[in-house]
Amino acid sequence: MPQSVDWKTGHYHLEQGVNIQVKGEISNANKQGLIVLLANSNIQKVDFDNTRQATLSIRCGMELRLPSESLEAYRIVVDPKGIQIEAKSNAGIFYALQTLRQLGGSNGKFPYCSITDYPSFRWRGYLVDVGRNYQSLALLKEQIDIMAKYKLNVFHFHFTEDIAWRLISKKYPGLTDSSNMERWKGKYYTVEEMKELIQYCHDRHIQLVPEIDMPGHSAAFRRYFKTDMQSDSGTAMVKELVREFATTYPGLPYLHIGGDEVKIHNQRFLPEMTRWIEQLGMKTIGWDPGGNLQPQTIRQLWMGGPQPITNDYPFEVIDSKHLYINHMDPLETVTALFYRQLGGQPSENKKLLGATLCSWPDRAVSNERDVFHQNAIYPALLVFAERSWRGGGEFEWRSNIRTDARGLAEFAEFEERLLQHKRLYFKNFIFPYYRQSKQTWTLYGPFENKGNLDMSLNKEREGQFQASKQIGVFYGGTIVLRHWWADVVRGAIDRPLKNTTIYAVSKIWSDQPEYKNFWIGFNDLSRSYASDSPHLETWDERKSKLWINETEVVPPKWQHAGQKGNLEIPLVDEGYSYRVPRKVKLRQGWNTIVVKLPVGELKGTDWQNPLKWMFTCLPIDNE
């Protein structure tokens, strides 16, 4: 949604063709993009003739007055005279065309309106980890296309890992040999493919940011060179790899050096590598917390709670805290990102550049598309794109839809637009999201269970509980009672107690007796941890249960029932979004759903199996 839209009555029609008048330097890529846009609106006759009356005019130049100094700002006016686009740069023209694409639909009619738009953050990024799980060039381009259409402008390309080094080095070709890879053996990117990817991003006004992780996440380096990066010989070889990279792919302004999750035993390593990279013409970015990064290195934040980044912060910052969608339930993903304030500020400042959304599928996948079934990649990109462009959000992190009238209405309005885009533009894509804002739950409890997770209450299946035990009314397909990072992310229960049981009750109407598909789940496993699979005849380790009209909905027959967590064993049916939906019999009229949610200790068995006190129950046939 643009920063400012003033809708008028009426439409401008271009079905008979369009004459485009251009003032200023417009790139060929933008001209071709406009032609494709018009063709998709069923407008086939397109002329560029500055001597004739324009039905669509484009002005591009630094002299234009816009309400933002950003080179990505633009203005669109659609009125009886035609369509007028203004921007200071080709980036602004490009983003104006993305908005025009959404305005025009497929019928050549554009609603009268006045749009003024500009980004709240200059850094709007998306990270893909191909070091652990390779993705084909076609799939990467697919994601970059979506990024471009929704005005994201940084593609963070993470291609080195413990698992594998996936960018060819002509000096050290054995680094990408299949024998040096532990997963997706033999899959890497050639020089030509990397150059093609960089250009593909450039043509769409996206900056590719490569990451060569050092000195951590570098087991593939050690396997091949038989030495650690922090050794004298290792440092020399890292320098040579970086020099080769900078020479082979000139003009890239940034190199991400990682620096996290490793013991720094050579305090000279990161400062020396930073100086070397700067001499090669690139600015460094590193993870924070991490190693002894230099003051001029941009910090990419990845751990900790909400924190306001102010103008007096000691470093330039990119926010990625609680922006790892591999840790989020698919429905929770949209909720969490919708309310999420980036960098603890409504918009950028001198030190806060923006944010990067991250996809870290640490666990092996059998097929590259499995990442999209297990994670809400495209729904996340859309909600993050709006938040990083428009700014705003809330300082407090939350995992559930707000229950106040305003907070619920704001989410429902966005959700309607999200689902409209799903229908219009994502018919042929994996898009694991359904409307959840109308799903209502009443929570009751806590009821003491004394550590006996099998303890039952009278009439629990009927959902009949004392009014005095009502906690409140909540909305959503997924309800998180207590987040696994409860110290920084708010759940539905303000002060959860161990050895207690909570019940959730909802009523669903059906016009006739029928079977409906539901998403049902309880413990959404992170795609980054070696988490255990549930045992047979259980939904989770807490013995959660669900009844519809007093009939229990039994758990699936898990393919990996009781499997001890292992990052090399792919998830197959553990999550509701990547297994067959559950068919549930509904009767005519009101149907009562009761969810039983016991808990013992408020902690997981280990860090790979954190406590996720939550449930999902959502009918998905109504979309």
Between 47 and 592, the more confident residue is: 592
444 beta partners? 470, 503
pLDDT band, very low/low/confident/very high, at 104 (cuts 50, 70, 90): confident
pLDDT band, very low/low/confident/very high, at 501 (cuts 50, 70, 90): very high
The confidence score (pLDDT) of residue 623 equals 64
Taking only the tens place, the pLDDT of each residue in 295-354 is: 999 999 999 999 999 999 999 999 999 999 999 999 999 999 999 999 999 999 999 999
- The C-alpha torsion from 483 through 489 and 495 to 499, rounded to 10°, is 20
Between 1 and 75, the more confident residue is: 75
Between 113 and 458, the more confident residue is: 113
Mean pLDDT of 229-253: 98
Letter string b/e over residues 29-43, b meaning 16 or more CB atoms within 10 A of that residue's CB = ebbebbbebbeebeb
Q: Which superfamily, per CATH, for 123-410?
A: Glycosidases (3.20.20.80)
pTM: 0.96
Residue 565 has pLDDT above 90, yes or no: yes
- Rounded to the nearest 5°, which phi and psi values hold at 436? -130, -10
Q: CATH topology for 434-619?
A: Jelly Rolls (2.60.120)
Mean pLDDT of 290-297: 97
Average pLDDT over the chain reads 95
pLDDT band, very low/low/confident/very high, at 35 (cuts 50, 70, 90): confident
Task: Give the residue among 48, 42, 58 at the shortest CA–CA distance from 19.
Answer: 48
Residue 51 has pLDDT above 70, yes or no: no
pLDDT band, very low/low/confident/very high, at 106 (cuts 50, 70, 90): low
Q: What is the SS3 assignment for 263?
A: coil
298 HSE (CA, 13 A, CB side): 23
Taking only the tens place, the pLDDT of each residue in 169-211 is: 999 999 999 999 999 999 999 999 999 999 999 999 999 999 9
pLDDT band, very low/low/confident/very high, at 46 (cuts 50, 70, 90): confident
Taking only the tens place, the pLDDT of each residue in 346-375 is: 999 999 999 999 999 999 999 999 999 999
Residue 622 has pLDDT above 80, yes or no: no
7 beta partners? 113
Task: Give the residue among 594, 600, 602, 617 at the shortest CA–CA distance from 444.
Answer: 594
Q: Where are the strands (E) in 64-120, listed by range? A: 74-79, 82-87, 109-117
The confidence score (pLDDT) of residue 186 equals 96
468, with CB counted inside 10 A (0-12, 13-18, 19+), is exposed
- CA–chain centroid gap for 283, Å, is 25
Q: Are 327 and 489 in contact (CB under 8 A)?
A: no
Distance CA 385, CA 596 (A): 36
pLDDT band, very low/low/confident/very high, at 558 (cuts 50, 70, 90): very high
Q: Where are the domains of the chain?
A: 4-117, 123-410, 434-619
Task: Give the residue among 139, 87, 123, 285 at the shortest CA–CA distance from 206.
Answer: 123
Task: Give the residue among 455, 439, 328 at the shortest CA–CA distance from 380.
Answer: 328
For 4-117, CATH number out of 1.20.1540.10, 3.40.50.720, 3.90.1300.10, 3.30.379.10 equals 3.30.379.10
Taking only the tens place, the pLDDT of each residue in 398-450 is: 999 999 999 999 999 999 999 999 999 999 999 999 999 999 999 999 999 99
Distance CA 466, CA 469 (A): 5
Distance CA 542, CA 615 (A): 11
- % of the chain at pLDDT higher than 70: 99
Q: Are 617 and 546 in contact (CB under 8 A)?
A: yes
